[in-house]
Amino acid sequence: MKKIVAILAIVLLAGGWLALRHQSTQNGQIRVKVLEVLASGQQNPFEGGHTYETQTLKLHILTGAEKGEVIEMYNDYVMLKAGDRAFVSKVVLDDGERYTLTEPDRLPLMYFLMIVFIALVVVFGGIQGVRGLLALGGSLVLIGYLLLPGILEGYPILLVTIGVSALIIILGSYVTHGFNKTTTAAVIGMIITITITGIASYLVVDAARLNGISTEEDFYLVRALAGNIDLMGLLLGGMVIGLLGVLYDAAISQAVAVEELHHVAPHLDRKMIFARAIRIGREHIGALVDTIAIAYVGVSLPIILLFMASVDLPFAQIANRQFFATEIIRILMASIGLVLAVPITTAISAWMLMKEKKEPVSVETIEQEKKALQHFHHHHHQ
Q: Looking at residues 221-231, what average pLDDT do you find?
A: 61
Q: From 197, 195, 187, select the one nearest 135 (Cα to Cα).
A: 187
Percent of the chain at pLDDT > 70 equals 74
pLDDT given for residue 236 in this prediction: 80
Q: % helix / strand / coil in the chain, to the nearest 5?
A: 65, 15, 20
pLDDT given for residue 170 in this prediction: 92
Side-chain half-sphere CA neighbours of 382 within 13 A: 5
pTM higher than 0.85: no
Does residue 213 or residue 53 have the better pLDDT? 53
231-264 vs 322-353: helix axis angle to the nearest 10? 30
Q: From 145, 178, 181, 177, select the one nearest 248 (Cα to Cα).
A: 177
d(CA 290, CA 121): 25
Q: Looking at residues 235-252, what average pLDDT do you find?
A: 83
Phi, psi angles (nearest 5°) of residue 43? -140, 150
DSSP character for 95? Answer: T
DSSP character for 63? Answer: S
pLDDT given for residue 91 in this prediction: 80
SS3 267: coil
Residue 367 has pLDDT above 70, yes or no: no
20-54 burial: b if 16+ Cβ within 10 Å, else e: eeebbeeeebbbbbbeebeeeeeeeeeeeeeeeee
CA 244 to chain centre: 8
pLDDT given for residue 27 in this prediction: 47
Does residue 261 or residue 300 have the better pLDDT? 261
Q: Looking at residues 123-144, what average pLDDT do you find?
A: 84
Q: Looking at residues 362-374, what average pLDDT do you find?
A: 59
pLDDT given for residue 23 in this prediction: 47
Q: Which residues pair with 31 in a beta bridge?
A: 87
Q: Looking at residues 134-163, what average pLDDT do you find?
A: 84
Does residue 213 or residue 275 have the better pLDDT? 275
**pLDDT band of 166, cuts 50, 70, 90:** very high
d(CA 312, CA 112): 44
Q: Domains, the chain, ranges and CATH?
A: 2-105 (2.40.50.140), 150-381 (no CATH)
**pLDDT band of 193, cuts 50, 70, 90:** very high
Residue 17 has pLDDT above 70, yes or no: no
Strand residue runs (E) in the chain: 30-43, 52-61, 70-75, 85-93, 96-104
Average pLDDT of the chain?
A: 78
pLDDT given for residue 359 in this prediction: 52
Residue 295 has pLDDT above 50, yes or no: yes
Residue 49 has pLDDT above 80, yes or no: no
Does residue 306 or residue 42 have the better pLDDT? 42
Query: CB–CB of 354/273 below 8 Å?
Result: yes
Q: Looking at residues 273-299, what average pLDDT do you find?
A: 79
Does residue 71 or residue 18 have the better pLDDT? 71
Query: CB–CB of 156/233 below 8 Å?
Result: yes
